[in-house]
Every structure is written in C-alpha cells, then in structure tokens.
Amino acid sequence: MNTTLLKLIYRPVTRQAAHASLVGRSRDRHSPGKGRFTLAKVDNILKQVWQTYDQLAPFVPQEPKLGNRMNMLLSCVTLACFRVFIATGTEREYAIELIGDMAWKVYEKWGRFPILIARLLTRDPRKQLRMSVNMFLHFPFTPPGYVFERLPSSDGISLDMLRCPVAEYFQKQDASDLCVGTWCNLDFALAEVWGGWLERTETLAAGCTRCDFRFKANARE
C-alpha cells in the first residue's frame, strides 16, 4: 500500500471518526474559556493532519507485507495528528486521549468483521475469540513484520509479541507514550468486542521485551 492510496481510503474514514469523537469536546480540559471543538475547527485540524502526513509518509520504514505497510502508514497518520494537536497548543496527555478516541472509531469498525464471521461459524465463545485474534494475525498484524510466539491456552488465546514495527516507529519518533495511549490501549476494548477480555502487563512500546497478550473468553451464560 502506498502513501497516496492509504490517504484516499482513510481520509473519509478519519473525517468521520474525528467528527464523531471531537466535535463538542473541550479544546482544553483545564481552560473552559478556550471553548470546544467545532465542526469547522476539526476540519481545519484534519487539513493540517494530511499536510503533515504528506511530509512524514515518505520517510516511514518499509515493511514486507501489505498489512504491515498499512499499519505503518496509519501510524504516520497518528503521529501527524499528534504533532498538529501539540502545535495548536493541546496539552500532550489530552492530545493522546483525543487521538485514542478518534482511533477507536476506526479500529472498532475493523474489529467487528472478525467476530461477525466467527459467529457464523461457531457458537463457542472460546473459538470465536480465537478466530477473531487469528484473523488479525493474518491481516494486518502479519509475519514477518510482526514476530510473535503462540503459547498454550485453555480459555482463549495467548501469545507473546516479540517485534512490532509500529512500536519501533513511535519509539524512534520519541512518542512511545502516544503508541501506548492509542494503538496499544485499543486492544483492551477490542477484546470486549470479540466477546472476552485482555490481560496484558508488558508492551514493547513501553520498553519491555514483549507484549504479553492473554485473551480470555467470556463463558456462555
């Protein structure tokens, strides 16, 4: 996937996500006098985001698989959002929160496809969860860009992620907290969409040697 194609596909998706998650929010949670995000303000931010993306995207590291490349360019969009928010005076922690909320609007749509397919194939919650996780491990979190080790699990699916190009990218941009607060933290809500929950104590983005994913399935009532 090249930089122009990703922009073509994700520009309307990002616009929809930004409108849904930002419009009406406080521009500064500590200073009510600065007002709230209006539709016009959000559209102006998005214009700057894509201009910044155009500047950053040519320097994004190349990865071997389509899904890997897509994730890297989406990481670039995330970084572009962050830089625009910071440049316009948004406090760093709040900028990460806003971007995380935007990212979830996109990620949730992706996450619903696997569970819809899994529910057509089985009624077993554990199998549904495993199928959903495995679909994401086939695309876009695909080897060899992503390196992981599967572990035994009786109530869901467990794996250690040993290499994540997205985490590496944000670390090189001095934005590991942005990675953890957006990309990494979305996994917990995604596990709920898939009918379970996630236990994780370590992440590569936070400087650990692995991401210890332990997906657990909810028991059928």
By CB neighbour count within 10 A (0-12 exposed, 13-18 middle, 19+ buried), where does 59 fall? exposed
Q: Where are the domains of the chain?
A: 3-217
Give residue 106's pLDDT: 94
pLDDT at residue 67 is higher than 90: yes
pLDDT band for position 66 (50/70/90)?
Answer: very high
> Is the predicted pLDDT of residue 205 greater than 80, yes or no?
yes
| Band (219; pLDDT cuts 50, 70, 90) | low
d(CA 120, CA 117): 5
Predicted local confidence at residue 221, as pLDDT:
42
**pLDDT score for 162:** 98
* Confidence class for position 218, pLDDT limits 50, 70, 90: confident
Residue 198, pLDDT score: 97
Q: How does pLDDT run across 165-174, given as a tens digit for each residue? A: 999 999 999 9
- Output the CA–CA distances (angstroms, integers) from residue 53 to 3, 151, 177, 197, in the order listed: 9, 37, 19, 33
98-157, pLDDT tens digit by residue?
A: 999 999 999 999 899 999 999 999 999 999 999 999 999 999 999 999 999 999 998 899
Classify residue 24 by burial, with Cβ atoms within 10 Å: 0-12, 13-18, 19+: exposed
Cα(105)–Cα(198) distance, integer angstroms: 19
β-bridge mates for residue 150, sequence order: 159
CA angle 193, 180, 70 (to 5 degrees): 70
The helix (H) or strand (E) run that includes residue 163 is strand 156-163
